[in-house]
Amino acid sequence: ARAHKNMRSVIILISLSIISIGAALDNRWKLQWSDEFDGNSLDTSKWTARLMPGYTDNGEKEYYVPSAVSVSNGKLILTSNNTAYDSDHPYMSGWVDTQNSFFSTFGRYEINAKLPVSQGMWPAHWLLSQFKCWPYGAEIDIMEVIGRLNTTCFGTYHYGSTCGDNHGNGSSIKWNASLDHAYHTYSVEW
């Protein structure tokens, strides 16, 4: 989840359950990786909870801290709050990724999530290439929701031939109700 500079909520929870790659929805897919978030802590053989500042290019004012990541009742919970990390980062939030534990080029990637809706929130589920130079190697935004647009989900493909050479194609889907009222499955087949 990304928190934007206008975050007003004291505590927002992002609850995720069932993250799977190549889900066995039909005969085309064979399950390669999943996490059902069983137990009471993050499975660190699958996930890394990051300690790092938010991306200033996006106007992010939060600092990502592992203490904002928890697992409970089959859900991954990323908590964002307006507790200052330092004078440059008035918010803290949770971030997890599989950068050091799982990589796959093609498949079906999905997440079942109940998203926060609040000014300044920016929950996202995306795929990033193993190249360290964005957007070279590409980024696929499976789901991004801007908190103030709580009925719209965005998907974007970012690409470039060099570092910082960002091009993108994307679209959005609008729901009839706010995305925080129920769990929804977001996916991409690549």
**What's the predicted TM-score (pTM) here?**
0.82
Average pLDDT for 92-112: 88
Tell me which of 27-31, 34-38, 103-107, 125-129 is least confident: 27-31
Q: What is the pLDDT of residues 148-172, one digit of tens each?
A: 888 999 999 988 888 888 899 999 9
Q: What is the pLDDT of residues 63-95, one digit of tens each?
A: 999 999 999 999 999 999 899 999 999 999 999
* Confidence category of residue 62, pLDDT binned at 50, 70, 90: very high
Residue 99 pLDDT greater than 80, yes or no: yes
**pLDDT of amino acid 26:** 59
What residues are labeled active site?
Answer: 139, 144
**pLDDT of amino acid 12:** 32
**pLDDT of amino acid 10:** 28
Structure-block tokens of residue 15: 């609850």
| CA 132 from centre of chain | 18
CA gyration radius for the chain? 16
DSSP the chain: -EEBTT---SEEEEEEEEEEES--SSTT----EEE---SSS--TTT-EE--EEPPGGGTB-EEE-GGGEEEETTEEEEEEE---SBTTB-EEE--EE-TTT---SSSEEEEEEE---STTEE-EEEEE-S-SSTTTT-EEEEEE--TTSTTEEEEEEEE-SSTT--EEEEEEEE-SS-TTSS-EEEEEE-
Contact 93, 1 (CB under 8 A): yes
* Confidence category of residue 131, pLDDT binned at 50, 70, 90: confident
Residue 18 pLDDT greater than 80, yes or no: no
**How crowded is the C-beta side of 123, counted as CA atoms within 13 Å?**
29
* Confidence category of residue 25, pLDDT binned at 50, 70, 90: low
